[in-house]
Structure 1
Amino acid sequence: MDKDARDFINEYIASLPWLTIIESVNDTLVEDNYVGKIVIQSFKGDVEIMITIPQDFPLKGIQFMCIGITGYPHLMPNGLLCLNVAPAGNLAGELQEHFSKLRTWMMDYYESGKQDAHFEYYIFDADPKITFVFEEDGQKTRPAHCCGRFSYTSLRQQEISDERVWLVTGIGDTPSRFSATFMSFHQPTYEGLYFLLSRPPMINVNQGLTEYEDLLLLLTEEQKGYFFSTAASISIRSGYQTGCIVIVGYEIPSLQSGLQELRWEPFFISLQEYPLKRDPITDEIIVRPSSVSRIHWCKGINASYERMFGRGRLCSELTSSKILVMGVGAVGSQLAHSLVRGGCRYIDISDSDKIEPGNICRSAYTFVKTDIPKVQELFNQLVGISPHLEMQFNIAIEPILDSNKGYEKLKMYFSKYDFIFDCTTNKHLSIMLDGMQLPGRIINLSISNMARHMVVITGVSQIHVLKNRIYNKISPDKREPFYPETGCWSPTFEASNSDIAAPLHYVINELNYRLEKQLIIASFMIVREEMNHSLAYELTYDL
């Protein structure tokens, strides 16, 4: 930012009749910023505001720091205003947007006492190096008692820095509702203390308590006694050698309309500077004068199903159904990823292949996992994506005749699924599934060479017949088949990751739409065409 721009900024600020300049924006950079100060007159009391303008303004925004006031919406504990200014694209426009937002905040929130209809999390001065992940919503059962122990374990097997992220596995008599599959890798390891509060631990409308004395005012006599007598012993089971973790819970509005959920705030207590003692005269629990008086808050994150998938999940007909994906190569692995990220909670996978270097260009696998069974690696990936996913995998499901003694057992296995996505190229497996007359819906997904067509076949029988007929029509391809290596090996199709992903996501969206609208699910096809020097995808049910 040059001097002309700074002069223009000072002239603009001076032209605003509702504020007075105390210090003009100076010409000296302070940590890559230019700084000034203004005061805004108000019947409620004048407000001094420090203005910080980055040298890259208007590409970076102005910061307004209020001096001497707290407790208003959009005002951080350090005085910084959070105004969410939309970009204007030029210097004059950006100035107008920023100061217009500032004026609106002063009139609406400072002077008129406006409160937003939506709930915003309270602000705590939290240590970013200690994080606890909970799962809470309006339907979860509350702990039966007002105080007790909670269990937790490390979220990751190996931390990449000195920051620790912990997973809460249970609070009192209430276990976390993460899936049994996910929890099999996260057994409870450590313990801390929990306390249920009757109101939020707040100084004002948005700022959390900072002192132990204020926190003690929110605890019942029973809770104080438990806090004082138990913290030292619980440190033996703590994830920290020098202290223990305490969490306090209070009600906030839930994403589910009309319900309340618990919000948990964790903090760390050092045993060397234990903050509590019993008064020898009154026998009350008080703050130890020589201890650290400020609360060492940590970070809390809610990872409930609603929080993770509420903003972008598939319809309930998919998310609550039991799904089997057979064949987790180029199509099946991407399908499974999309279903899990769409909030599906019950998915099993099956495939007999191991990961090959040639798979990497168009599937969900990585080179370092070469020669590992695909289902094993995909299982690890998907459980790592969603802690709410129940999943099992099978190395292989081979087709057998109905006269085989294992036929009925296999049929019973398939019958438990609401959807079976057959992404294999095994025609005999498709024939067997046709003949079983299963109660769930079978959806056969396949792709033609160069990803010109993605074919979706469904129905109660003759899927393989219709599929053969379609491919005889669309793929009289004279291209030489692609062989992944020399020797006796099966040819495969050519297509990149994006070639497959584009029609596959179209397919998922179409199926999701029809299920959500309770429309008939019929066979269809996605066709890629070149039109006016660009690619287009057409969906057709005319097969």
Structure 2
Amino acid sequence: MEDRVNNITDAFSKVEYVKVTRPFVLDGEIVKGAIEINAEPTFLTFELEIYPPYPFQYHDVETIRFINKDLIIYDHVNGDGSICVHTLHSPHLATKVELDLNSLRQWIVKYFINKIKDSHYEHIVVSPSGTGKNQALWFTEVNYKFKRGEFGQFHFSILNTGLIKEQAVQTFILQEFKIKGQKLECLWNDSYKKLDRFAGIFLFIGDAPVENRRFAVQSWHDLEPFVDQSFLKYLYEFEVNLKKNTSKGVELKLIIGYNIDNDEIHWQCINFSADSFPNYVEKTGPKTYQGGFLDQSIDWMHSKNCSPKYFFGRGALSKRLTESKILVVGIGAIGSMLCNTLVRGGCLKLFINDHDVKEPDNVCRSEYQFSNGMVSKVYELRNQLSLISPFVEIMGNEELTDIIKRFRSDANWQATLEEALNQVDYIFDCTTDNDLAYIFSQLNIKSEVINISITNHAKELVCVFKHDQYKWLMEIFKELKNDTVDLYNPTGCWSPTFKASYNDIAVLVQFAVKQINLNLDKDQPLRNFYLSTSDDSGFEIKLNQF
């Protein structure tokens, strides 16, 4: 370790604009010291802490800390005064030191000397502690413009209890606000709206409750300038009523809302005990009273805006899909993967159909779980997709294809069927049922019908669109010469199926969805295609369009 201290000292000493003002020493496993940075006309000093993983990052965080608590009012400075710098990677200590110092010097010039303010909004720095350290509140936007000083009750639910580093962690979701007789609901789907609800208090204060521009206040007393007497009176009355009707030890939640970028509202949550309200009331005259907050620490929680624009913000499919109503017929291997991709890609209205039951040997190459036992595919996939996205609305039906085939010759029923199918924008037929493909091609519907099927051993995936769909499908499969001999036909089964693994199928389904999405995103016509695979010299996929 002595060599490490010497190497660090040597690396800093070689940088011309740096002066070591306190020699580096080993304090436990951490190397500590102090330096002065020359960023003319400014000279700034920093305490240094260098951790054992350096020059490597640890949990995506730099393992060197430059600390000056006098700089806390500037952008990209943490609550402990450490400067938030991110630099390029280097496995060599001396090179990494130089990169980090250059990054620090650039920070000094940009934020300290030129006093530039970032246009990109960054959330205030909240340091959860106490019970709030292991709790989180997730919320969405609601269709309401809150007014400064507005307060009342909100409802929330327990989403789940999990573990982080072997400690129990609870996640809550905000369900609704109650304002002047209105119920302002968050955007969750019905599966989440059905969860048991609990009451809390909300307060909209307009401005973020901060000190030093970016750090959430840590004391209830410091929160006092952000509230008025009407809220403190409400809080007192809430406490009085609660003590009449609630047993001791109940944990309460107060959410505080404030404006952030582009008129968006963020909600930050606080825990406190029903046995220890943070407010007080004092008499100021014969019939007058005044409330205030005690000088007690605030137990902040983690909070996150999960509105769709953030939930799907890292990547979504074309709006021509996500804003459409989609019917998926046949939710076996191909159909279940397709549904999973559509939901993760931001699609919000999905109808699924399959008459089949999930069997144990379906699990290995589809989106089903062994633990759910023997259930209908519609029932299980509907639940699975709701677990993925809290916003998707899913309707399930097990009889649609049966009805289509049974009444296809009934003119009255056909008109009813066509009317129903025209309620959706896209129909994905993943049944590999040629009879159904024929019937779809005969119907007079405006919906875009997309047939996706796969050959044995997943050698090819065929994707055919609405115009002359059945004809094209038959022609392509005739050309491909699909192997119908070497099928999977287990003992006791008289219904053989194609051979292919989850990976074999998924790579083609994802390629096909990518191709369809690309055409829609670029407003290009949807053209029939098939994907052919080859493994002669490494795995290859070829797109063949018509």
Structure 1 residue 275 corresponds to structure 2 residue 278:
yes
Residue of 492, 504, 511 corresponding to 2:509: 504
Deviation string for 1:281-300 (max 9, x for gaps)?
26221234xxx522111111
Q: 1:365 aligns with which of 361, 365, 368?
A: 368
Deviates more, 1:40-49 or 1:143-152: 40-49
Aligned to 2:227: 219
Structure 1 residue 487 corresponds to structure 2 residue 495 = no
Following superposition of structure 1 onto structure 2, how do residues 52-201 of structure 1 map, counting pairs within 5 Å?
A: 52-60=49-57, 61-69=62-70, 70-126=72-128, 127-136=132-141, 140-143=143-146, 146-156=150-160, 159=162, 162-172=168-178, 173=182, 175-187=184-196, 189-201=197-209
Displaced runs of 4+ in structure 1, greater than 6 A? 41-46, 235-240
**1:250 equivalent in alignment to 2:258:** yes
User: Which amino acid in structure 2 is aligned with residue 153 of structure 1?
Assistant: S
1:478/1:219 Cα in 2 relative to 1: closer, same or farther (>3 Å)?
A: closer
2:460 matched to 1:453?
A: yes
How far does the alpha carbon of each residue in 1:288-322 deviate from its partner, in whole angstroms, 9 at most, with x for none?
4xxx5221111111100101112311111100100
SS in 2 for 1:307: helix
2:481 aligned with 1:475: yes
C-alpha distance after superposition, 1:102-147 (max 9, x if no partner): 122222223332211211111011232121111128xx42247711
In 1, are the aligned partners of 2:450 and 2:465 still within 8 Å (CA)?
yes
> How many residues are paired up?
524
Cα offset, 1:195, TM superposition:
0.9
CA change 1:232–1:304 in 2 (3 A) is: farther
What CA RMSD, in Å, does the superposition of the two structures yield over aligned residues?
Answer: 2.6
**What is the correspondence of 1:38-57 to structure 2 with a 5 Å cutoff?**
38-40=35-37, 47-57=44-54
CA contact (8 A) 1:238 1:244 kept: no
- Measured against aligned partners, the alpha-carbon deviations of 1:410-461 in whole angstroms (never above 9, x if no partner) come to 333322110010000222222222222112111000011111111001114x
The residue number in structure 2 matching 1:256 is: none
Shift of 1:46: 6.7
Question: Which segments of 5 or more consecutive residues in structure 1 lack a partner in the other structure?
Answer: 254-258
List runs of 5+ in structure 2 lacking aligned partners. none
C-alpha separation in 2, matches of 1:103 and 1:478: 68
In structure 2, relative to structure 1, the CA distance for the partners of 1:432 and 1:334 (3 Å cut) is same
Does the residue aligned with 2:259 lie in a helix, a strand or coil?
A: strand
Distance, in Å, in 2 between the alignment partners of 1:505 and 1:281 is: 70
Q: Match for 1:464: what amino acid?
A: Y
Structure 1 residue 19 displacement after superposition: 4.0
Q: 1:522 aligns with which of 519, 524, 527?
A: 527
* Preserved contact between residue 190 and residue 238 of structure 1 (Cα < 8 Å): no
In 1, are the aligned partners of 2:455 and 2:498 still within 8 Å (CA)? Answer: yes
Counting aligned pairs with the same residue, the percent is 24
Deviation of the 1:47 alpha carbon: 4.9
Range with greater deviation from structure 2 (7-16 or 195-204): 7-16
Please point out which of 417, 421, 426 is paired with 1:419.
426
Aligned amino acid, residue 368 of structure 1: S
Shift of 1:236: 8.4
- Using the TM superposition, give the Cα deviation of residue 520 of structure 1 relative to its aligned residue in structure 2, in angstroms: 1.2
Q: Normalising to structure 2: TM-score of the pair? A: 0.89
Q: Any idea what the Cα deviations from partners look like across 1:164-212, whole Å, max 9, x if unmatched?
A: 211101123452342443334335x111111111311110221111122
Which amino acid is the alignment partner of residue 533 of structure 2?
Answer: R
Of Structure 1 and Structure 2, the greater helix share is in 2
Q: Give 2:225's aligned amino acid.
A: L
CA distance in 2, matches of 1:539, 1:524: 7
Structure 1 pair 100/239, CA: closer, same or farther in 2 (3 Å)? farther
**Aligned match of 1:287 in 289, 293, 302?**
293
Once residues 264 and 16 of structure 2 are traced to their aligned partners in structure 1, the CA distance between those partners, rounded to angstroms, is 46
User: What is the Cα deviation at residue 270 of structure 1?
Assistant: 2.3
Call closer, same or farther: CA 1:322–1:403 in 2, change over 3 Å: same
1:42 & 1:221 partners in 2: Cα distance? 49
Q: Distance in 2 between matches of 1:235 and 1:391?
A: 43
Quote how far apart the aligned CAs of 1:353 are.
Answer: 1.9
Secondary structure of the structure 2 residue equivalent to 1:38: strand
